[in-house]
Amino acid sequence: MQRGRDGAMNHPAAANETESGFEIRHLGLQDYSVVWNRMREFTARRNHTTPDEIWLVEHPPVFTLGTNGKESHLLNPGYIPVVRSDRGGQVTYHGPGQLVAYLLIDLKRRRLGVRALVGAMEQSIIGLLAEYRIKGETLAGAPGVYVAGAKIAALGLRIRKGCSYHGLSLNVELDLNPFQHINPCGYQDMEVTSLHDIGVRISTGEVEPRLLNHLTFNLQNPESEAAPL
């Protein structure tokens, strides 16, 4: 996946597909607020026949605060814009080189609880890391996935009328410096890492299908521990 002259991501003309009962949308590089508004509109108008969707996207630099996020965790945002979002959690950073997966799922229809959804997301990241012989783990009371104590993936959800939106972000090849200007996810001095930082030289475009494989498997088999390779 390459960037055009205007900074947008170039994708094949057929950007959307269906996989394992999910509509998959490859959105490229998109403004956070634009995608957030589209998620809310999609969730507001969906009904019991609307297919579930997974949106894969990258965002230009932005800090986002969750519904109960404390502005005190924004230490020095500088030139990077700040958006007050409606997801759960505190403050995080999005930027190019970070793969974001938004999960627009009818939880009632799939008989999937929020805890099971969070577990499926975390297990998907752990399974992906295992492909590269990297041990990912979760921490009690701190949702997300960590490698040797450093956060590599963050989670944030909103549930409306039994349907989810927002999702997860995985640090692939992004500049980690902006995390120094916040308390990531509300934790002072929390270390943050990326696939590149731990020696996996891979692009977000190469990660997309691998992550998607784990997500679709774990969302349909929430008690399982690994997707087939």
- Reported as type and span, the H/E element at residue 158 is strand 150-160
- CB of 155 within 8 A of CB of 144? yes
- Reported as type and span, the H/E element at residue 118 is helix 114-131
Catalytic residue status for 185 = yes
Q: Which of 182, 225, 213, 153 is nearest to 71 (CA)?
A: 182
- Reported as type and span, the H/E element at residue 93 is strand 91-94
Q: Which of 169, 37, 10, 13 is nearest to 97 (CA)?
A: 169
Number of other CB atoms surrounding residue 77 within 10 Å: 16
Burial 101-123 (b: 16+ CB within 10 A, else e): bbbbbbbeebebeeebbbebbbb
27, 105, 185, 219: the catalytic one is 185
Catalytic residues: 185
